[in-house]
Structure 1
Amino acid sequence: MPTPVPANARNPLRTFQFRLRMSTSAAGDYVAGVRTVSGLSVSVGAYETWEGGNNLHRYAQPHKVNWEPLVLEQGLALDDTLERWARAVLEFARTGKAPGEPVKRDLFIDVWDAYAHPTAVPPPGGMEARIRSFHVHNAWVSKLHALPKLDAMAGEVALLTLELTHEGWEPVPRPVLSMPATSLPTP
């Protein structure tokens, strides 16, 4: 007979919640309504060399790093932070002058989980625990879809889509997860 699985078992393979944070202020501001973030990937090309006079065996070394662009989707009616950023990049490309908004920004993608530790109890008030963050360096808007295909007969949500070119990303060191304190009896 199979062993029953508890209802509150932690599934490490499920999709987690996330938030997008921009470093426009000292504390950083979360951007509301970001639905998807995709493209957090990197590929490393190879540089091939051969030994002198021996064309039969090649040696490959890591050479060129290619950072894939990020794609963000956000609901149109929620927050205009990403749209203002796209307008600032367009203004900079058109005039060559820096507008009031920064053109290149650092982004942080924070991944959240209510059960960050197998023995943890979710904090009160619906607060989650941040389990991982990624720091995206010097991102700028390289493609903007201001409106999706409009169809009066469809019941879809209108989404703003941005493609961000950046100069690389790195994972932020994980926070230290501590075990819950237990009271030990004194001898």
Structure 2
Amino acid sequence: MAIYPANPQRLDPYKNFKFRLKWDGQFVAAISKMSSLKRTTEVVEFRSGGDQSTSYKSPGRQKYEAITLERGLTQDMSFHDWAGRVWSIGSGLGSEVSLANMRKDIYLEFYNEAGQLVMAYKIYRCWVSEYHAMPDLDANANAVAIEMIKLENEGWERDTAVVEPKDTTLTSVAT
């Protein structure tokens, strides 16, 4: 049985450069790179005691890989503040970690070339396991300063309420 796309006019795959992330109800500024959403299922191998030559395989635990976000260094403190919820240097003994509010659900929106929302993902119970506040600095370089966070997560799912939009058509203007 063949599966046809919702929009049979679109033959080209989507490009990977139009996306936005939202947490705490707001879009996060200047994110330029995000690692892939990756899920792995462990394989459980077993044998029957009476069958010496055959092993069987079944699915085991699900594992969701950490997600890395990079963005140009700005005055926006959202990466810094979130990383500080996991471990805050200088806090009093017993209050260095805030387990109550260190996790966030994030929402990934993915757009086509025309800027139309074409798919979205909900990523659950994220927390910052690594934070790079400043990149390597080099007086001879000519590059954007990048800050980075690594987010552990407990799973993600596609938001099926987001459907493929109808492609826009350009009309030529008669002169």
TM-score between the two structures when normalised by the length of structure 2: 0.78
Query: Could you tell me how far 1:14 is from its partner in structure 2?
Result: 2.8
Q: Secondary structure at the match of 2:84?
A: helix
1:104 is aligned to 103
1:39 is aligned to 36
Is 2:95 the partner of 1:95?
Answer: yes
CA shift digits 1:137-182 (9 cap, x unpaired): 00000001111110011011111111111111111115234659xx
Supply the distance in 2 between the matched residues of 1:15 and 1:179 (Cα, whole angstroms).
19
CA shift digits 1:80-112 (9 cap, x unpaired): 21211111211399725538x931000111101
CA RMSD of aligned residues (A): 2.5
Alpha carbons 1:41, 1:67 under 8 Å: kept: yes
2:141 is aligned to 154
Alpha carbons 1:131, 1:174 under 8 Å: kept: no
CA shift digits 1:44-75 (9 cap, x unpaired): 11111212311211110010211110000011
Supply the distance in 1 between the matched residues of 2:166 and 2:133 (Cα, whole angstroms).
46
1:166 is aligned to 153
Structure 2 residue runs of 5 or longer lacking an equivalent are 1-9, 168-175
Q: Call closer, same or farther: CA 1:145–1:69 in 2, change over 3 Å.
A: same
1:130 is aligned to 117
Q: Secondary structure at the match of 2:120?
A: strand
Letter in 2 for 1:103: M
Greater RCO (CA < 8 Å, at least 6 residues apart): 2
> Which of residues 47, 50, 54 is equivalent to 1:53?
50
Letter in 2 for 1:105: K
Letter in 2 for 1:67: Y
Supply the distance in 2 between the matched residues of 1:94 and 1:17 (Cα, whole angstroms).
42
Alpha carbons 1:85, 1:102 under 8 Å: kept: no
Kindly tell me the number of residue pairs found equivalent between the two proteins: 155
TM-score between the two structures when normalised by the length of structure 1: 0.74
